[in-house]
Amino acid sequence: MPGDCEIHVVVAMQNPLPSHAKDNLCHRKVANRSSENPNQNTIKMCFTNHPRRRTLKLRLEVPMSASMRAREETVGNTLDSRGDTPSVASGLFVQAMGRAVSGVTVVATDGKAGRFAVTVSAMSSVSAEPPLVLACIQRRCPANRAVRENGVFSINVLAAAQAHVSDTFAGRPRQGEPFDFAVGEWRQAATGAPCLRGAVAVFDCALWSAHEAGSHTIFIGRVLAVGANEAAPLLYTGRRYGRPMLLDI
Protein backbone atom coordinates (compact mmCIF):
# COMPACT_ATOMS: atom_id res chain seq x y z
CA MET A 1 0.00 0.00 0.00
CA PRO A 2 1.50 3.40 -0.93
CA GLY A 3 2.73 5.28 2.12
CA ASP A 4 3.16 2.21 4.33
CA CYS A 5 6.42 0.94 5.74
CA GLU A 6 6.87 -2.78 6.28
CA ILE A 7 9.30 -4.09 8.89
CA HIS A 8 10.20 -7.79 8.91
CA VAL A 9 11.77 -9.35 12.01
CA VAL A 10 12.82 -13.02 12.11
CA VAL A 11 13.33 -14.54 15.55
CA ALA A 12 15.16 -17.86 15.91
CA MET A 13 13.29 -20.61 17.80
CA GLN A 14 15.15 -23.23 19.80
CA ASN A 15 12.57 -25.93 19.05
CA PRO A 16 9.62 -26.33 16.68
CA LEU A 17 6.36 -25.16 18.21
CA PRO A 18 3.77 -27.78 19.14
CA SER A 19 0.79 -28.06 16.80
CA HIS A 20 -1.68 -26.60 19.32
CA ALA A 21 0.45 -23.43 19.54
CA LYS A 22 0.61 -22.85 15.80
CA ASP A 23 -3.03 -21.83 15.51
CA ASN A 24 -2.55 -19.33 18.31
CA LEU A 25 0.40 -17.74 16.55
CA CYS A 26 -1.17 -17.56 13.09
CA HIS A 27 -3.39 -14.59 13.69
CA ARG A 28 -3.69 -10.94 12.86
CA LYS A 29 -4.09 -8.16 15.38
CA VAL A 30 -5.01 -4.55 14.61
CA ALA A 31 -4.36 -1.82 17.14
CA ASN A 32 -6.92 0.91 16.48
CA ARG A 33 -5.98 4.56 16.54
CA SER A 34 -6.48 5.91 20.05
CA SER A 35 -9.06 8.67 20.52
CA GLU A 36 -6.90 10.09 23.34
CA ASN A 37 -3.86 10.16 21.06
CA PRO A 38 -4.97 10.73 17.45
CA ASN A 39 -1.33 10.83 16.33
CA GLN A 40 -0.73 7.25 17.45
CA ASN A 41 0.25 5.00 14.54
CA THR A 42 -1.93 2.04 13.67
CA ILE A 43 0.05 -1.20 13.88
CA LYS A 44 -0.91 -4.43 12.14
CA MET A 45 0.85 -7.60 13.26
CA CYS A 46 0.89 -10.91 11.47
CA PHE A 47 2.61 -13.93 13.08
CA THR A 48 3.48 -16.98 11.02
CA ASN A 49 5.23 -20.10 12.30
CA HIS A 50 7.81 -21.77 10.06
CA PRO A 51 8.57 -25.10 11.83
CA ARG A 52 11.00 -26.34 9.20
CA ARG A 53 13.21 -23.33 9.61
CA ARG A 54 12.46 -23.07 13.32
CA THR A 55 11.75 -19.38 12.99
CA LEU A 56 8.97 -17.02 13.91
CA LYS A 57 8.29 -14.21 11.44
CA LEU A 58 6.87 -10.94 12.76
CA ARG A 59 5.44 -8.57 10.15
CA LEU A 60 4.60 -4.98 11.07
CA GLU A 61 2.84 -2.46 8.85
CA VAL A 62 3.25 1.09 10.13
CA PRO A 63 1.82 4.12 8.27
CA MET A 64 4.62 6.46 7.18
CA SER A 65 5.14 9.41 9.51
CA ALA A 66 5.83 12.96 8.40
CA SER A 67 9.54 12.53 9.13
CA MET A 68 9.64 9.30 7.14
CA ARG A 69 7.95 11.02 4.20
CA ALA A 70 10.48 13.85 4.38
CA ARG A 71 13.24 11.26 4.31
CA GLU A 72 11.67 9.62 1.25
CA GLU A 73 11.50 12.98 -0.56
CA THR A 74 15.19 13.72 0.00
CA VAL A 75 16.67 10.23 -0.30
CA GLY A 76 17.57 10.90 -3.92
CA ASN A 77 20.32 13.24 -2.72
CA THR A 78 22.14 10.33 -1.09
CA LEU A 79 22.39 8.41 -4.38
CA ASP A 80 24.86 10.87 -5.91
CA SER A 81 28.09 8.87 -6.13
CA ARG A 82 29.91 12.06 -7.25
CA GLY A 83 28.69 14.26 -4.42
CA ASP A 84 32.17 15.73 -3.97
CA THR A 85 32.34 16.87 -7.61
CA PRO A 86 31.13 20.46 -8.24
CA SER A 87 28.06 20.91 -10.44
CA VAL A 88 28.34 22.66 -13.78
CA ALA A 89 27.67 26.41 -13.67
CA SER A 90 23.95 27.21 -13.83
CA GLY A 91 24.45 29.54 -16.79
CA LEU A 92 26.08 26.82 -18.87
CA PHE A 93 23.39 24.35 -17.88
CA VAL A 94 20.60 26.74 -18.91
CA GLN A 95 22.37 27.49 -22.18
CA ALA A 96 22.66 23.80 -23.04
CA MET A 97 19.06 23.09 -22.05
CA GLY A 98 17.99 25.89 -24.37
CA ARG A 99 19.11 23.72 -27.29
CA ALA A 100 16.62 21.02 -26.34
CA VAL A 101 13.14 21.02 -27.88
CA SER A 102 10.20 20.59 -25.55
CA GLY A 103 6.46 20.75 -25.67
CA VAL A 104 4.69 23.48 -23.70
CA THR A 105 2.10 22.65 -21.05
CA VAL A 106 0.00 24.49 -18.51
CA VAL A 107 -0.53 22.74 -15.18
CA ALA A 108 -3.79 23.85 -13.55
CA THR A 109 -5.50 23.02 -10.25
CA ASP A 110 -8.60 24.03 -8.33
CA GLY A 111 -9.98 23.20 -4.91
CA LYS A 112 -9.79 24.32 -1.30
CA ALA A 113 -6.43 26.04 -1.91
CA GLY A 114 -7.78 28.03 -4.84
CA ARG A 115 -7.52 28.09 -8.62
CA PHE A 116 -4.01 28.37 -10.03
CA ALA A 117 -2.11 27.52 -13.20
CA VAL A 118 1.48 27.81 -14.42
CA THR A 119 3.34 27.18 -17.66
CA VAL A 120 5.59 24.12 -17.47
CA SER A 121 7.99 22.59 -19.99
CA ALA A 122 9.23 19.76 -17.75
CA MET A 123 6.44 17.22 -18.24
CA SER A 124 6.71 13.54 -19.07
CA SER A 125 4.95 10.20 -18.91
CA VAL A 126 6.09 7.93 -16.07
CA SER A 127 4.14 4.69 -16.39
CA ALA A 128 1.39 3.11 -18.49
CA GLU A 129 0.19 0.68 -15.80
CA PRO A 130 -0.97 2.49 -13.81
CA PRO A 131 -1.04 5.57 -16.05
CA LEU A 132 1.22 8.16 -14.41
CA VAL A 133 2.60 11.50 -15.59
CA LEU A 134 4.91 14.03 -13.98
CA ALA A 135 5.30 17.79 -14.03
CA CYS A 136 7.97 19.90 -12.34
CA ILE A 137 6.91 23.15 -10.65
CA GLN A 138 9.16 25.76 -9.01
CA ARG A 139 8.87 25.58 -5.22
CA ARG A 140 8.13 29.30 -4.81
CA CYS A 141 5.30 29.22 -7.36
CA PRO A 142 1.83 29.58 -5.78
CA ALA A 143 0.61 26.71 -7.97
CA ASN A 144 3.05 24.40 -6.16
CA ARG A 145 1.32 24.80 -2.81
CA ALA A 146 -2.11 24.67 -4.44
CA VAL A 147 -1.42 21.34 -6.17
CA ARG A 148 -0.28 19.86 -2.86
CA GLU A 149 -3.34 21.04 -0.95
CA ASN A 150 -5.93 20.42 -3.67
CA GLY A 151 -4.56 16.96 -4.45
CA VAL A 152 -5.62 17.23 -8.11
CA PHE A 153 -4.25 18.87 -11.24
CA SER A 154 -4.52 18.85 -15.02
CA ILE A 155 -1.71 18.92 -17.55
CA ASN A 156 -2.73 20.76 -20.72
CA VAL A 157 -0.46 20.28 -23.73
CA LEU A 158 -0.74 23.51 -25.71
CA ALA A 159 -1.51 23.73 -29.42
CA ALA A 160 0.62 25.86 -31.73
CA ALA A 161 -2.10 28.55 -31.71
CA GLN A 162 -1.98 28.85 -27.90
CA ALA A 163 1.40 30.56 -27.40
CA HIS A 164 -0.42 33.49 -25.78
CA VAL A 165 -1.77 31.12 -23.12
CA SER A 166 1.79 29.97 -22.40
CA ASP A 167 2.96 33.58 -22.01
CA THR A 168 0.10 34.44 -19.65
CA PHE A 169 0.78 31.58 -17.26
CA ALA A 170 4.53 32.18 -17.47
CA GLY A 171 3.81 35.62 -15.99
CA ARG A 172 4.49 37.69 -19.12
CA PRO A 173 1.13 38.18 -20.90
CA ARG A 174 0.95 39.92 -24.26
CA GLN A 175 -2.11 41.68 -22.90
CA GLY A 176 -4.20 41.44 -19.76
CA GLU A 177 -3.09 40.25 -16.35
CA PRO A 178 -0.54 37.52 -15.56
CA PHE A 179 -2.00 34.12 -14.66
CA ASP A 180 -5.48 35.20 -15.74
CA PHE A 181 -7.79 32.31 -16.67
CA ALA A 182 -9.70 34.68 -18.97
CA VAL A 183 -6.98 34.09 -21.58
CA GLY A 184 -8.56 30.77 -22.58
CA GLU A 185 -11.75 28.74 -22.43
CA TRP A 186 -11.80 26.21 -19.62
CA ARG A 187 -13.97 23.34 -18.49
CA GLN A 188 -14.03 21.57 -15.15
CA ALA A 189 -12.74 18.00 -15.17
CA ALA A 190 -14.09 15.20 -13.01
CA THR A 191 -11.46 15.93 -10.37
CA GLY A 192 -12.39 19.61 -10.34
CA ALA A 193 -9.18 20.66 -12.09
CA PRO A 194 -9.54 23.22 -14.93
CA CYS A 195 -8.93 21.83 -18.43
CA LEU A 196 -8.11 24.05 -21.41
CA ARG A 197 -10.30 23.69 -24.47
CA GLY A 198 -8.37 23.39 -27.73
CA ALA A 199 -5.30 21.85 -26.08
CA VAL A 200 -3.58 19.08 -28.03
CA ALA A 201 -3.87 16.74 -25.04
CA VAL A 202 -5.29 17.02 -21.54
CA PHE A 203 -4.50 14.75 -18.57
CA ASP A 204 -6.81 14.94 -15.55
CA CYS A 205 -4.83 13.74 -12.54
CA ALA A 206 -5.07 12.84 -8.88
CA LEU A 207 -1.85 13.62 -7.02
CA TRP A 208 0.10 10.35 -6.61
CA SER A 209 3.28 11.64 -4.96
CA ALA A 210 5.56 14.67 -4.66
CA HIS A 211 9.35 14.70 -4.55
CA GLU A 212 11.65 17.65 -3.86
CA ALA A 213 14.50 18.06 -6.35
CA GLY A 214 16.64 21.19 -6.19
CA SER A 215 14.57 24.31 -6.84
CA HIS A 216 11.53 22.34 -8.04
CA THR A 217 8.98 19.78 -6.89
CA ILE A 218 8.30 16.77 -9.08
CA PHE A 219 4.57 16.09 -8.95
CA ILE A 220 3.47 12.65 -10.14
CA GLY A 221 -0.19 12.31 -11.02
CA ARG A 222 -2.35 9.25 -11.59
CA VAL A 223 -4.28 9.91 -14.79
CA LEU A 224 -8.04 9.53 -14.38
CA ALA A 225 -9.12 10.89 -17.77
CA VAL A 226 -7.57 12.15 -20.99
CA GLY A 227 -8.57 14.20 -24.01
CA ALA A 228 -6.79 14.75 -27.33
CA ASN A 229 -7.20 16.41 -30.72
CA GLU A 230 -5.29 16.53 -34.01
CA ALA A 231 -3.96 20.10 -33.75
CA ALA A 232 -0.22 20.72 -34.08
CA PRO A 233 1.51 21.04 -30.70
CA LEU A 234 3.37 24.14 -29.54
CA LEU A 235 7.16 23.65 -29.24
CA TYR A 236 9.79 25.68 -27.41
CA THR A 237 13.54 25.89 -28.07
CA GLY A 238 16.19 28.61 -27.97
CA ARG A 239 13.75 30.93 -26.16
CA ARG A 240 11.42 30.83 -29.15
CA TYR A 241 8.17 29.06 -29.99
CA GLY A 242 7.80 26.73 -32.94
CA ARG A 243 5.70 23.96 -34.43
CA PRO A 244 6.59 20.52 -35.80
CA MET A 245 7.53 20.06 -39.42
CA LEU A 246 7.39 16.54 -40.80
CA LEU A 247 10.48 15.35 -42.64
CA ASP A 248 10.12 13.60 -45.99
CA ILE A 249 12.44 10.68 -45.26
C-alpha radius of gyration, the chain, whole number? 25
Altogether, the residues listed in the chain come to a count of: 249
8 Å CB contact between 198 and 233? no
Residues of the chain with pLDDT below 70 are 1-78
How many whole angstroms separate alpha carbon 205 and alpha carbon 116? 15
DSSP 7-18: EEEEEE-SSPPP
**For position 77, what pLDDT does the model report?**
57
**For position 82, what pLDDT does the model report?**
81
**For position 83, what pLDDT does the model report?**
80
**For position 6, what pLDDT does the model report?**
39
- Which long-range contacts link 18-26 to residues 24+ away (Cβ below 8 Å)? 21/49, 22/49, 22/51, 25/49, 25/56
pLDDT, tens digit, 9 for 90 and up, residues 31-52 = 334 444 444 443 344 444 444 4
pTM: 0.69
Q: Domain 98-242: which topology?
A: Pnp Oxidase; Chain A (2.30.110)
Strand ranges (E), the chain: 4-12, 28-31, 43-50, 55-63, 102-103, 105-109, 116-120, 123-128, 131-138, 152-157, 186-188, 194-196, 201-213, 216-228, 235-237, 240-242
**For position 173, what pLDDT does the model report?**
95
pLDDT, tens digit, 9 for 90 and up, residues 116-133 = 999 999 999 999 999 999
Does residue 103 sit in helix, strand or coil? strand
Q: How do the domains of the chain map onto residue ranges?
A: 4-68, 98-242
**Which DSSP category does 148 fall into?**
H
**For position 211, what pLDDT does the model report?**
97
Q: Which amino acid is at 46?
A: C
**For position 39, what pLDDT does the model report?**
42
